[in-house]
Amino acid sequence: MQFTSEQLLDDGICEREFMLGEIPGILWTPASVSAPVPLILLGHPPLGLRTMYPRLAGRARHAAAAGFAAATIELPGSGDRPRWAAVEQARADLRRAVEAGEPVGDELIDALVLPLVEKSVPEWQAALDALLSLPEIGGPVGYSGGVISIGIRLAGVEPRIAAAGLFAGSLVPAVMFEEARRVTIPLHVLLQWDDEGNDRQAALDLFDAFGSKEKALHAHMGGHTGVPQFAGEDAAGFFARHLR
Amino acid sequence: MQFTSEQLLDDGICEREFMLGEIPGILWTPASVSAPVPLILLGHPPLGLRTMYPRLAGRARHAAAAGFAAATIELPGSGDRPRWAAVEQARADLRRAVEAGEPVGDELIDALVLPLVEKSVPEWQAALDALLSLPEIGGPVGYSGGVISIGIRLAGVEPRIAAAGLFAGSLVPAVMFEEARRVTIPLHVLLQWDDEGNDRQAALDLFDAFGSKEKALHAHMGGHTGVPQFAGEDAAGFFARHLR
């Protein structure tokens, strides 16, 4: 992991951009800490880190206020990373289906999501190796948000992740319901009750499928981008309980 | 309203028992406040105030820690109030149906819940008149917990209630779904995902029915009495946002 830039934000948070091989990423560490801190991995939709930066930096500030570091990496095929023809094709097919008012079939959902899960999860794990080798970062580690199937896979296969906050806001391949049953870490799941791009019953079924003994579903009114600010405070409480 | 006893609890909270006509009640006010405080009405199941006292006092302590007064009254037919033959008959019928593994029919649910709603809601309103006339209590007023149908009716008909925290943990007559549509105040709804005495889909349908623009559903694992402690912290955040 090579740090490529460093700046102090106005609230004393240190923001460093890095390259993990060919993968760009950002690490935020809280101001003036004396001992290694817990870490929250910030998931995000595949829109590119530059596009997502304001929201990611806002979430990182909340993490830092709780005494946690936060980090994220670019998803394959997004931002400054090379285009990925197969996934771009699936996205174009999805747009076409949605605009034509056609149902989004299982094959299309699989083509859209599964390659992203396959490729990105090992990258997040490599990032975790690098981040946990830094003296200022200790653990435990939480994962938060982004493409929920990536969160499901990571929560199931990566034992260093102690708790996950997931957003039931994207299409989920049927196979991920099986993987959800094998997830046992504490979960905090957000659902937007009127999410235009998401099937409410499927989201409730997914919540039901998770094997975790401690899981909470927080459903709020409104569409995909309408998550209320206080939902962030409840999620902060969840991570504070599990990462401290 | 006649106060019949007064004691200071160890954290400085003043606990006063009162009689509102024939109805016993308890009022808790926080230690050392200079201005009139908001009030949370503490709903409870019809098991009698003495039985419920430890849990009610715990909730009142949380309210007081946030700077709120809390109050409750005995439900008709419970505790020291006269027996109520019709409701006792319905309860016996319910027990019999549940023990025999029979479905609990709509008529039985109506007989069990509707008389309680009809009789108790005007009593809570009378208690509100008396409580809001005390110089130490200002408002706004929240309603929390207990028989959800009482909460639905109160939230719909009593304009002085500004926000309600409800527990989707009891049988709900079909007619209350209609009343739920007319509720517009902010709501915080708790659901125990594996509540043995409650139909999960009916609870989700009820949440969907509420007319409120701000409503949140917090679902947690476990049975009826398994509400985790952190659920109380999230509910406290809800009331802090709306009563302060």
Tell if the CB–CB gap between A221 and B213 is shorter than 8 Å. Answer: yes
> Token match 């998550």: residue?
A227
Residues of A in contact with B193 (CB under 8 A): 208, 217
Asked whether B189 and B207 are in contact (CB, 8 A), the reply is: yes
Preferred mutation among B190, B208, B217, B241 to probe A, highest tally of A CBs within 10 A: B217
Q: How far is CA B178 from CA A104, A195, B149, in A?
A: 34, 24, 11
Count CA atoms within 13 Å of residue A43 on its CB side. 29
Mean pLDDT of the residues in chain B: 93
Asked whether A145 and A155 are in contact (CB, 8 A), the reply is: no
ipTM for the complex shown: 0.81
Name the residue among B207, B221, B230 with its Cβ closest to that of A241: B230
Q: Is A136 exposed, middle or buried (0-12, 13-18, 19+ CB in 10 A)?
A: middle
User: Can you give B173-216 as a three-state secondary structure string?
Assistant: CHHHHHHHHCCCCCEEEEEECCCCCCCHHHHHHHHHHCCCCCEE
Q: 138-177 in A: which are within 8 Å (CB) of B?
A: none
Determine the pLDDT at residue B107. 92
**Strand runs labelled E in A54-199:** 69-73, 137-145, 161-167, 187-192
Determine the pLDDT at residue B36. 95
Chain segment B72-118, per-residue pLDDT in tens: 999 999 999 999 998 899 889 988 988 898 888 899 999 999 999 99
Tell if the CB–CB gap between A217 and B217 is shorter than 8 Å. Answer: yes
Query: Which spans in B85-199 are helix H?
Result: 85-99, 106-132, 148-157, 174-181
Q: What residues does A138 pair with on adjacent strands?
A: none
Count CA atoms within 13 Å of residue A150 on its CB side. 29
Shortest Cα–Cα distance, A172 to chain B (Å): 21
Q: Chain A residue closest to B212 (CA)?
A: A221
Name the residue among A212, A220, A230 with its Cβ closest to that of B237: A230
**Residue type at B146 in one-letter notation:** G
Determine the pLDDT at residue B18. 98
Determine the pLDDT at residue A206. 96
Determine the pLDDT at residue B226. 86
Residues of A in contact with B238 (CB under 8 A): 230
Spatial neighbors of B146 by CB under 8 A, at least 6 apart, are: B42, B43, B44, B45, B167
Residues of A in contact with B212 (CB under 8 A): 221
Determine the pLDDT at residue A87. 86
**H/E segment holding residue A146:** none
Asked whether A200 and A229 are in contact (CB, 8 A), the reply is: no
pLDDT tens sequence for chain A (244 residues): 999 999 999 889 999 999 999 999 999 999 877 899 999 999 999 999 999 999 999 999 999 999 999 999 999 999 999 999 988 998 899 889 888 988 888 999 999 999 999 999 999 999 999 999 999 999 899 999 899 999 999 999 999 999 999 999 778 999 999 999 999 999 999 999 998 878 899 999 999 999 999 999 999 998 888 888 888 888 889 999 999 8
Tell if the CB–CB gap between B217 and A218 is shorter than 8 Å. Answer: yes
Class of the CATH domain delimited by B2-243: alpha beta
Spatial neighbors of A217 by CB under 8 A, at least 6 apart, are: A189, A191, A204, A207, B193, B217, B218, B219
Tell if the CB–CB gap between B204 and A204 is shorter than 8 Å. Answer: yes
Residues of A in contact with B233 (CB under 8 A): 237
Determine the pLDDT at residue B34. 81
Quick check: A202 contacting B, CB < 8 Å? no
Residues of B in contact with A241 (CB under 8 A): 230
What does the alpha-carbon distance between residue B177 and residue B108 come to, in Å, rounded to a whole number?
17
> Token match 């409580």: residue?
B131
Determine the pLDDT at residue A169. 78
Q: What residues does A25 pair with on adjacent strands?
A: A18, A73
Name the residue among B204, B218, B241 with its Cβ closest to that of A216: B218
pLDDT tens sequence for chain B (244 residues): 999 999 999 889 999 999 999 999 999 999 877 899 999 999 999 999 999 999 999 999 999 999 999 999 999 999 999 999 988 998 899 889 888 988 888 999 999 999 999 999 999 999 999 999 999 999 899 999 899 999 999 999 999 999 999 999 778 999 999 999 999 999 999 999 998 878 899 999 999 999 999 999 999 998 888 888 888 888 889 999 999 8
User: Can you give A227-240 as a three-state secondary structure string?
Assistant: CCHHHHHHHHHHHH
What are the structural domain ranges in chain A? 2-243
- In 3D space, the residue among A189, A241, A240, A209 whose CA is nearest the CA of residue A67 turns out to be A240
Name the residue among B214, B218, B231 with its Cβ closest to that of A221: B214
What does the alpha-carbon distance between residue B231 and residue B168 come to, in Å, rounded to a whole number?
14
Residues of A in contact with B217 (CB under 8 A): 193, 217-219
Asked whether A67 and A38 are in contact (CB, 8 A), the reply is: yes
Determine the pLDDT at residue A103. 84
Tell if the CB–CB gap between B216 and A220 is shorter than 8 Å. Answer: yes
Tell if the CB–CB gap between B217 and A214 is shorter than 8 Å. Answer: no
Q: 204-233 in B: which are within 8 Å (CB) of A?
A: 204, 207-208, 212-221, 228, 230-231, 233
**H/E segment holding residue A153:** helix A148-157
Three-state secondary structure call for residue A103: coil
